Amino acid sequence: MGRTPSSAAGPKGLLLAGGEHLILRPKSGTGASRADQGVRPTMTIAEQASELVAGLDEDRFTWRPGPDKWSIEECLGHLVVAGQQRVRVLEEGIRRGRERGLTGEGPFRYGPVERWFVRTSEPPVRRRAPAPRRFRPQHGQPVSAVLPTFLHLQSQLMAQAEAAWGLDLRRVKVASPVSRFLPMSLGMALAQTASHERRHLEQALRVRHQLP
């Protein structure tokens, strides 16, 4: 179980329920914690994506394992489309939380529905559902366009996570990915964004293992 950071420790992580952390940025000289194996650093996601596409030409990057299956390109493209929308939602929620003075220190306790929603986003996938039309990626985009855009998105998400430091992650609400009419806590929104990225990176890795 990770230790609760003091307010002077800087934005090492955001406290989740049970004292676990959403790690924002690994510090040199710090050991691994349970959170490193649960809600991983966004930078690790960026590194995983870079390794995933290393050495791929355009044909392999856009290769589909089946007529109704996504390519590596489409897995990353979906994360870009969905992630850009999430950045706007997180930014607005953080701004409103600051304006309202909704600050607090963890650990923060979340409801069972939110925790279930985050768990269902984690790999391995237990229930598959088609992506909403607005989050479906284009097909045929070059790796030289998709990967830099994805990496830039990770920097944006990192910035939003750090901007949330010091807020009450339970009381600050943002729209859920399902509907803007279904609010969820900022802490769980950050955690779900990371788990959703891991879900589709694992999907892309499975495609890589099937490449001809």
Give the residue-averaged pLDDT of 22-27: 37
Provide the whole-model pTM: 0.78
Say which range, 51-55, 96-100, 174-178, has the weakest mean pLDDT. 174-178
Considering the four listed CATH numbers 3.30.2350.10, 3.40.50.2300, 1.20.120.450, 3.40.1160.10, the one that applies to the domain covering 42-101+117-210 is 1.20.120.450
**Model confidence at 24: pLDDT above 50:** no
pLDDT tens by residue, 157-206: 999 999 999 999 999 999 988 777 789 999 999 999 999 999 999 999 99
Say which range, 32-36, 85-89, 175-179, has the weakest mean pLDDT. 32-36
What's the pLDDT at 2? 35
Give the residue-averaged pLDDT of 34-43: 37
Give the residue-averaged pLDDT of 13-19: 40
According to DSSP, the residues that pair with 14 across neighbouring strands are: 22
Give the residue-averaged pLDDT of 20-34: 36
